């Protein structure tokens, strides 16, 4: 965390991408480091930036079954696409699917359809 804060202090671009278009936010979203995730969100201009596979930070949080990261990203404005929602259902990530259902009552039928 200290290294990240030092990079921010020195003006590092936290929106840079690797060869696959992944940003630091995408990489940390799959990990269970909520404090670092929150710092990156504060210094990231595009929360829903997509990599070359068309995936966002929220996608990687769901793929890792990381409910806490999902909550933080959603509460900060990340968009739950149908693909992301279906990823939670397909992988039987019940806590994440339930969280999405509580946030968007219109998608409840999808979770019932696949149970």
Q: What is the pLDDT of residues 4-25, one digit of tens each?
A: 667 667 677 777 889 999 999 9
**Distance of CA 13 to CAs 24, 25, 34, 112, Å?**
10, 12, 20, 43
Distance CA 41, CA 35 (A): 10
* 15-19, 45-49, 97-101 — most confident range: 97-101
CB 34 within 8 A of CB 25: no
CATH number assigned to the domain covering 2-113: 1.25.40.20
pTM of the model: 0.85
Domain segments of the chain as ranges? 2-113
């Amino acid at each position: 965390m200290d290294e990240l804060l030092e990079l921010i202090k020195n003006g590092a671009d936290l929106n840079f991408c690797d060869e696959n278009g992944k940003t630091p936010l995408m990489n940390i979203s799959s990990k269970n480091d909520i404090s670092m995730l929150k710092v990156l969100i504060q210094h990231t201009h595009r929360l829903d930036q997509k990599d070359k596979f068309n995936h966002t930070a929220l996608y990687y949080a769901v793929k890792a079954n990381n409910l806490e990261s999902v909550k933080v990203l959603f509460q900060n404005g990340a968009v739950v696409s149908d693909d992301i929602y279906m990823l939670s259902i397909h992988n039987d990530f019940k806590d994440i699917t339930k969280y999405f259902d509580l946030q968007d009552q219109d998608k409840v039928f999808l979770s019932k359809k696949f149970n």
